[in-house]
Structure 1
Amino acid sequence: MSLKVSSRRHLVAQSEIRSMSIECARVGGINLAQGVCDLPVPEVVIQGAQDAMDRGTNIYTRFDGRYELRKAIADKQKRFTGMEVDPDGQVVASAGATGAFYAACLALLEEGDEVIVFEPYYGYHIVTMASLGIKPVYVTLEPPDWGFSAQSLEDAVTAKTRAIILNTPSNPAGKVFSREELGIIADFAEAHDIFVFTDEIYEHFVFDGHEHISPATLPGMARRTITISGLSKVFAITGWRLGYAICDPEWALAIGHFSDLVYVCAPAPLQIGAARGLAELGPDYYQSVSDDHQHKRDLFCDTLRDIGLTPHVPDGAYYTLADVTSLPGDTARERALYLLEKTGVACVPGSAFYQGAVGESLARFCFAKEMDILEDAMQRLRSL
């Protein structure tokens, strides 16, 4: 008997991030590979979820999420970006930001479409599109400021281009796109009449006075932008799977229906917990998150410099890409495994974020760890 499997099967092999996490667990090391934030979960968030369970909020929600959460998302978006958002027509709560992105791709893109992607990229964006028969077309950001030009976008566009993906602040480079750069992207999107999918999950992890600007707030961008974010990082609840999309009501309805088809809904009581956090935690909370991670970034990047792994210091998010060519090995994976063997510290090979050879000289480290764990990791790295 020869049973056939889907041609998509090879597209979703285990990611390098999970692979290195498994290798790290095998040796009992410190996992700076996976982007799990070690902040304590705010008590108001936990208590809100517990109260909801106690009240019996344990059944399916509306296809686009509980009103309490949609309203809290809309209010928070207004506070931080100035966007006017209708919670009853423009917000779709889903199973994490990745779930919102998947539902948006199902709703708005066709097999054979092309989407422009900046690299270094987040691998889940690429695999999600590939599994749907959507082709990523790459524009490479150039260090040290991870810049690009309007011409580089024009060189990538074809008659099949339907969208561009923008991750700001970005994983893994930590780039915070400036208003000028967003203006270039906005002009390009309007000229070619394409969607802009944004991943803004790290919007509250911004350093050195940089400002996160939501692309949907730029003139003419509201209708064509699908704003995607979530609560996983800022509330340290990656396992709760709570994300959302904000967009024009026409797109939101379709995205919500596909989210319902794939996920039914995000967990009902956890939605209430997140809504409580959004409603009750003020600017000081978000500023403390940013300040804490800027301090950790500075300490960790100093350590990388001292051991000869020159870092690209991020302006946002909580990762740093570092030059690992001084380590033994011919590939980024070989160098990452060497580092794990010698120090017990896991990172992700840079090849996980590039289509070509550029990533073979790099590795990504996550510094969003409790201070004692980060200090242990830095001490181990200094043993090199």
Structure 2
Amino acid sequence: MHKLANRLDHFSDSVIRRMTRIANQYQAINLSQGFPDFDPPKPLIDALKQAADYGPHQYEITWGSAEFRRLLAKKQQKLMQIDINPDENVLVTCGSTEAMMCAVMTVCNPKDKVIIFSPFYENYGADAILSDATPIYVPLIPPTFEFDKQQLREAFEQGAKALILCNPSNPCGKVFTKSELEYISQLAIEFDAYIITDEVYEHMVYAPHQHLYLASFANMRERTICCSSLSKTYSITGWRLGYIIADKRIIDGCKMIHDFLTVGAAAPLQKAACAGLALGDDYYQQLTETYTAKRRLFLKGLDDLGLTYYEPQGAYYVLVDISTLNPFKTDFEFCEWLIKEVGVAAVPGSAFFKHPEYRYIRFHFAKQEPTLIAALERLSKLKEKLSCLKN
């Protein structure tokens, strides 16, 4: 039979989701795939029950229900400090995963080049490949994960059509500074490129850092495609509700891709999620405080265990340096052993770097305090078990 598509040769299944499957097999505490183990806000659950009883249960308008788009535009307009027309500037997608795919497919022709910062969320490279675009990787340099300005300029000089910006960053937790975003903006304008932002963790930024929206920078509104989702903000990762906010010209293109890619996001879930979009500012303040406390607890635990890590400025991930711990050939082998012998799941850092880096593993701390404490207790046996392994 004919060989399957060549694009399959350039990426594998999701390493993150693979680690979850292994964690489930061995009943490990899953700090690999970034989803909470606690419920969404009660208003969303109540609204979901209402939607189950009264609907809607049929197709919603392809680009999202009018109520959902109106409430989302109202919320994000206040945050982003730009005018957002719910009919012209908003598209509701099946999670931010589809939002990113739509964005790349909308702006890129085959063989166009897309800049991706490394480390990166593993989907970005796949998005480029599935769009027949060519990724150009620019390193974020530990421990501060800053980029080299000249390297970034040289990437644009190669004719990049777009740059993907995850801010706050998954997996390293970097929050891009105003001066960094200004420099990215300058290059985008100079080289006439689009910026596709992934801003899923916009409400999880830790003082003194601040999240700034690139779309609000001078002359960037028409070339910035903001992708995000409700998954992390409202602890509803399984609802798969994402969105794109962009200039009308871009949104019109994204609508066409979306229409034939997934048709539309789930109607009853859009209805229920409106209860979340209607929450007041106090909810988002409390969300930040909650994750700040989880971060504090987990990082102190890592300190107590003598583990080296890079302190996240945003999001809910932490890269732990295992360079002095890993007796295996790869970080994947280390993570498999960690699940089976220690009972905690992490993601091998090589899943996030263009050039395999076996020094890191990624944990997340979007869990209840008892779960994090239990994970840290298991990790307290890590060095002892490794010592037995080496002997």
Moved more, 29-38 or 45-54: 45-54
Offset of 1:54 from its aligned partner? 2.7
Partner of 2:389 in structure 1? none
Distance 1:68 1:115 in 2: 34
1:141 aligns to what SS in structure 2?
A: strand
1:38 aligns to what SS in structure 2?
A: coil
Superposed CA deviations along residues 81-114 of structure 1, whole A, max 9, x for unmatched, are 2221000100000100111111112221111011
Partner of 2:228 in structure 1? 229
Offset of 1:335 from its aligned partner? 2.0
Partner of 1:154 in structure 2? 153
Decide whether the 8 Å contact of 1:50 with 1:269 is kept in 2: no
Decide whether the 8 Å contact of 1:49 with 1:271 is kept in 2: no
Identity of aligned residues (%): 39
User: Please, what is the CA RMSD of the aligned residues?
Assistant: 1.4
- Could you tell me which of 321, 324, 349 is aligned with 1:323? 321
Distance 2:296 2:151 in 1: 32
Q: Would you say 1:346 and 2:342 are equivalent positions?
A: no
2:212 aligns to what SS in structure 1?
A: coil
Query: Which letter maps to 2:126?
Result: V
- Could you tell me which of 302, 311, 314 is aligned with 1:313? 311
Decide whether the 8 Å contact of 1:103 with 1:255 is kept in 2: yes
Partner of 2:214 in structure 1? 215
Superposed CA deviations along residues 60-86 of structure 1, whole A, max 9, x for unmatched, are 111210011111111001222222100
Unaligned runs of 5+ in 2: 383-391
Query: Which letter maps to 1:221?
Result: M
Q: How does 1:244-283 map to 2 (within 5 A)?
A: 244-279=243-278, 281-283=279-281
TM-score normalised to the size of structure 2? 0.94
Partner of 1:304 in structure 2? 302
Partner of 2:360 in structure 1? 362
Q: Would you say 1:173 and 2:175 are equivalent positions?
A: no
Query: Which letter maps to 1:224?
Result: R
Moved more, 246-255 or 283-292: 283-292
Distance 1:15 1:349 in 2: 12
1:368 aligns to what SS in structure 2?
A: coil
Superposed CA deviations along residues 250-308 of structure 1, whole A, max 9, x for unmatched, are 110110121111111000111111122111x1122112211111211122122223333
Query: Which letter maps to 1:114?
Result: K
Partner of 2:387 in structure 1? none
Partner of 1:103 in structure 2? 102
Superposed CA deviations along residues 166-220 of structure 1, whole A, max 9, x for unmatched, are 0000100101111111100000100000000000000001112321111100010
Distance 1:191 1:39 in 2: 45
Q: Which ranges of 4 or more aligned residues in structure 1 deviate by more than 4 Å? A: none
Pairs aligned (count): 381
Query: Which letter maps to 1:160?
Result: G
Superposed CA deviations along residues 308-362 of structure 1, whole A, max 9, x for unmatched, are 32010101000000101122212211222232233110100000000113x2100
Distance 1:17 1:8 in 2: 20
Decide whether the 8 Å contact of 2:80 with 2:215 is kept in 1: no
Partner of 2:370 in structure 1? 372
Superposed CA deviations along residues 213-252 of structure 1, whole A, max 9, x for unmatched, are 1110001000000001110011111111100000010110
Decide whether the 8 Å contact of 1:11 with 1:131 is kept in 2: no
Distance 1:14 1:206 in 2: 30
Distance 1:356 1:144 in 2: 17
Moved more, 197-206 or 284-293: 284-293
Partner of 1:14 in structure 2? 13
Decide whether the 8 Å contact of 1:167 with 1:200 is kept in 2: yes
2:51 aligns to what SS in structure 1?
A: helix
Moved more, 51-60 or 130-139: 51-60
Offset of 1:129 from its aligned partner? 1.1
Decide whether the 8 Å contact of 2:173 with 2:313 is kept in 1: yes
